[in-house]
Structure 1
Amino acid sequence: MKLIYQIILKVSVALVFLLTAWATFFYFALQVEINDEVDDALENYSEIIIIKALAGQELPAENGGSNNSYRIREVDEDYVKEHPVIRYADADIYIPELQETEPARILTTIFRDGSGSYFELTVATSSFEKDDLREAILNWIVFLYIILLLIIIGINVWVFSKSMRPLYALLNWLDTYNVGGENIPLENNTKISEFRKLNDAAIRYAGRAEQMFEQQKQFIGNASHEIQTPLAVCQNRLEWLTDNTDLSEEQLSEILKTRRSIDYIIRLNKSLLFLSKIDSGQFTDSVLVDMNALLERQLDLYKDIYDYRNIKVTLEDRADLSVEMNESLATALVTNLLKNAYVHNSDNGYIRIKIDSTSIQFCNGAVSGALEGERIFERFYQGAKKEGSTGLGLAIVSAIGKHYGICVTYRYFEGEHRFVLSWDKKNY
């Protein structure tokens, strides 16, 4: 998830809790304020009634059609002891004039006249509808939340896009940066000190990566020369011994075994160096490679090898496929899969190759069931040991695939191995 979306989501959630808490506080604060005002009015009204009652003046009608009403009744001393002098309550009262029940605020007070008798005065006045108030507050809170959310999102997007522009410029530069290739310099002027430090750190580490890349290239070149040369010398000396000395059959057999071991080491060394070059990105030059023509050339080279085991090869060109990649890597990609189809095949077997506009499929008959799909692309994994195999062929295929974003997959279907190279990202 992008950073701005995370910010908007968190702000939205925070607003929900904030406005909910604010609405609850506002509702109770408003209720207290309204009750205070109503209670003051009830106290004034009750004082007027009590004064007139003590003065023997004519009292107003208990319900004169207004929102106020009262009732006086005489109580005994025991009742007075059991009840407070003044108390407030909320209740629903019936208004005959309106013929409906309304919520009301009620004040009950006890007073004493000149003869020592106790009276209880109950004064009521219409109050507010709490349900209507809660509904109104809820509607306004929802409206306020939507307005605030839209405003905050708009402000956040504007501020974020302005403030984070140097970061996105740096990320774009890092995405396009290719160690060992031609890279444009980083131009990311900003007044924000944190971004300037980030730019400097990225440039420093890019410089270190370039330095390590050059050292690795030099090491690989030196290693190739220093290892291949003595191996070639050993191989030549063994050939000289074979051709120019009188050897017993046992001695000749041992020399041939040694030559085979040296051949294996040479091939292993070349494969490891090749993998190192792929991993370090030393194959930077790319051309448009015609995969149809490349396969035809390689099959022509492998024709005698396949004929030796009577393996029938069919190539189906369903569509032209041309890809942008290094020609040496394209060749290695194809040849290693052709070798694999030969190794994991049987005498009198078959190989079918299908080329589509976005993929190449290599199919061949299986000798002993499915391969271990989760491990066959690991380095040095060989499953059933094949003579002369280094266990690096499919690892090279996988490394080239990762380098160019090619989807390399294996499956065992209907008694045959199927390796697929796909340039279509939908297949990932």
Structure 2
Amino acid sequence: MKLFHLVMWRVSALLVAILTVWAVFFYWAIIEEVNDETDDSLGDYAETLIIRWLSGEEMPSKNSGSNNQYYLYEVSEEYARSYPHITYRDETVYIEEKKETEPARVLMTIFQTDDGRYMELVVYAPTIEKLDLRRALLGWIIFLYVLLLLAILAVNAWVFQRNMKPLYRLLGWLDKYRLGGKNEPLTNDTPVSEFRKLNDAAVVFTERSEKVYEQQKLFIGNASHEMQTPLAISLNRLEMLMEDDTLTEKQLSELAKTHQTLESLTRMNRSLLLLCKIENHQFSDEKEICLNKLFRTYLDDYQEVYAYRHIRVEVTEAATFRVTMSESLASVLVANLLKNAFVHADEGGEITVSFTAASFEISNTGEHPLDDKRIFERFYQGSKKEGSTGLGLALVDSVCKASHLSVTYRYADGRHVFTVSRS
């Protein structure tokens, strides 16, 4: 989830909760205010009626034209003592003048006359229809909710996007940054101190990574280069020693195994040196190359070498696949893909190569799929094969990246399929 969406979601949830609580308090505050005003009016009216009754004045008609009504009757002392002196409640009463029922606020009070009698006075005053009020308030609150929520979210979105631009610029620069490549300098001026510190930290981190990366490449290149000479000398001495007629068969067998190990180490060393050169962009002799023709050249050589395995090869050329790249890198690409196919194909299996104008595909039969997430890692070997160093497909991947190509792997219908296309 993006930071913007997370912030908006949390702000929305918080606003809904706050506005809901506010709406409940707002509704009850209005109802309490209406009841308070009505109760004061009822209290004044009841006090006037009691005074007139106690003073012996003529009581007003029960309906004075104001929709207020009252009832006055005598009650027992036990009843008077068992009920509160004054109470208020909501009721629905019948208004004789209007011939209909309406909601009303009711005041009930009990007072004692001079001669010791107890009188109960019930006063009714029409009030607002609270159900209608609730509906009206709910409608307006929902309308105001939506309007206020949208306005607040819009303001928050504008403020967020405006203030978080330095962060998004930094993220965009980091997305485009490629270790060891030609990267543009970070230009992200901002008055916010936290963003400035973040920019500085990112620049320091990338500079440190570049330094370590260059040191690593230099070490690998130097180490691989320096190892070539002693390896070649060791191989020559072993070959000379193996020509000695006085050696026993067991000694020759051990020397042959040692010679094979040194050859494998030499191939691995050459591959590491080649990887280092590719990553250092030391192949700049680019020209247009026809990969169809290059494949046919190498295919004849590999068929002769692996003829004992009885592998069938089928080539389909729907079009010519031409690319602009270093001829040396093209040879590395083709040779390693073909070698990988021959080495990992089943005994008596089949290799298929097909070309289009935008890509080529090479596949070989195989029983088990490889890990498509690790297939192009250095030294990864799904199953150890003779003559494999674990660097062939890593070289293929590096050559494709350096030549603006892409390589993909999939396992389908019992075949390992590698596809090379333009990026």
TM-score range (shorter-chain normalised) is: 0.7 to 0.9
Of 186-195 and 311-320, deviating more is 311-320
Q: Give 2:386's aligned residue.
A: 387
Question: Where in structure 2 are the equivalents of 1:150-229 lying within 5 Å?
Answer: 150-229=150-229
1:272-287 matches, within 5 Å, as 272-273=272-273, 281-283=279-281
In structure 1, how many angstroms separate the alpha carbons of the residues matched to 2:123 and 2:109? 8
Judged with a 3 Å threshold, the aligned counterparts in structure 2 of structure 1 residues 370 and 129 are, in CA distance, closer, same or farther, namely same
| In structure 1, C-alpha distance between the alignment counterparts of 2:165 and 2:312, rounded to whole Å | 60
Helix, strand or coil at the partner of 2:71: strand
Spell out, residue by residue over 1:282-321, the C-alpha distance to the aligned partner (whole angstroms, 9 max, x if none): 3487898878x32541342132322524433233344565
Shift of 1:402: 8.4
Of the three residues 369, 376, 384, the one matched with 1:371 is 369
* TM-score (norm. length: structure 2): 0.85
Q: How many residues align?
A: 417
CA separation of 1:381 and 1:209: change in aligned 2, threshold 3 A: closer
> Residue 415 of structure 2: which of 405, 413, 417 is its match?
417
* AA aligned opposite 2:22: W
Q: Structure 1's 143 and 44: CA in aligned 2 closer, same or farther, altered over 3 A?
A: same
Task: Find the counterpart in structure 1 of residue 303 from structure 2.
Answer: 306
AA at the equivalent of 2:201: A
Q: Is the Cα contact below 8 Å between 1:289 and 1:330 reproduced in 2?
A: no
Look up the SS of the partner of 1:5 in the other structure: helix
The within-5 A match list for 1:237-248 is 237-243=237-243, 245-248=244-247
Q: Counterpart amino acid of 2:270?
A: K
2:59 counterpart letter in structure 1 = L
TM-score (norm 1): 0.84
1:421 is aligned with what amino acid?
Answer: T
Alignment of 1:132-151 (within 5 A): 132-151=132-151
Question: Is 1:345 the equivalent of 2:342?
Answer: no
* Distance 1:22-1:211 versus aligned 2 partners, 3 A rule: same
User: Which amino acid counterpart does residue 235 of structure 2 have in structure 1?
Assistant: Q
Secondary structure of the 2:388 match is coil
Instruction: Write out aligned runs for 1:119-138 (5 A).
Output: 119-138=119-138
Contact 1:379 1:391 in 2 (8 A): yes
User: Structure 1 29/402 Cα, relative in aligned 2: closer, same or farther at 3 Å?
Assistant: farther
- What is the CA distance between 1:114 and its match in structure 2? 2.7
Where in structure 2 are the equivalents of 1:260-279 lying within 5 Å?
260-273=260-273
- The CA RMSD measured in Å over matched residues stands at 3.3
CA contact (8 A) 1:295 1:334 kept: no
Q: Distance in 2 between matches of 1:405 and 1:80?
A: 100
Evaluate the alpha carbon distance shift between residue 365 and residue 4 of structure 1 in structure 2; reply closer, same or farther with a 3 A threshold. Answer: closer
Equivalent residues of 2:108, 2:120 under 8 A apart:
yes
> What's the offset of the Cα at 1:347?
4.6
- Equivalent AA in structure 1 for residue 298 of structure 2: L
* Deviations 1:107-127 (CA, angstroms, capped at 9, x unpaired): 100112232211111111122
Q: Do residues 27 (structure 1) and 27 (structure 2) align? A: yes
1:362 Cα deviation (Å)? 2.7
Pair 1:359–1:418, CA change in 2 (3 A): farther
Following superposition, the deviation at residue 65 of structure 1 comes to 4.8
Give CA-to-partner distance per residue, 1:341-366, whole Å, 9 cap, x none: 21232454321123456654333233
Residues 302, 338 of structure 2: 8 Å contact kept: no
Q: Deviations 1:42-79 (Å, cap 9, x if unpaired)?
A: 00111122122223333223234533111112101000
Cα displacement (A) at 1:26? 0.7
The residue type equivalent to 1:172 in the other structure is G
Q: CA deviation at 1:405?
A: 9.0
Unaligned 5+ runs, structure 2: none
Task: Give the deviation of 1:200 after TM superposition.
Answer: 1.9
SS at match of 2:81: helix
Identity over aligned residues, as a percent?
A: 47
User: Structure 1, unaligned stretches of length 5 or more?
Assistant: none
Q: Distance in 2 between matches of 1:94 and 1:207?
A: 88
Provide the C-alpha distance between the structure 1 equivalents of 2:241 and 2:292, rounded to a whole number of angstroms.
Answer: 40
Which position in structure 2 is the counterpart of 1:56? 56
Instruction: Out of 268-277 and 124-133, give the one that drifted further.
Output: 268-277
- Counterpart CA distance in 1 for 2:287 and 2:407 is 17
Distance 1:358 1:125, change over 3 A: farther
Matches of 1:323 and 1:20, distance apart in 2:
65
Contact 1:376 1:394 in 2 (8 A): no
SS in structure 2 of the partner of residue 241 of structure 1? helix
Write the distance in 2 (CA, Å) between the matches of 1:247 and 1:398.
Answer: 48
Q: Within 2, Cα distance between the matches of 1:287 and 1:86?
A: 105
Between 1:181-190 and 1:373-382, the stretch displaced more is: 373-382
Return 142-151 or 115-124, whichever deviates more: 142-151
SS state of the match for residue 72, structure 2? strand
The offset of 1:152, in angstroms, is 2.0
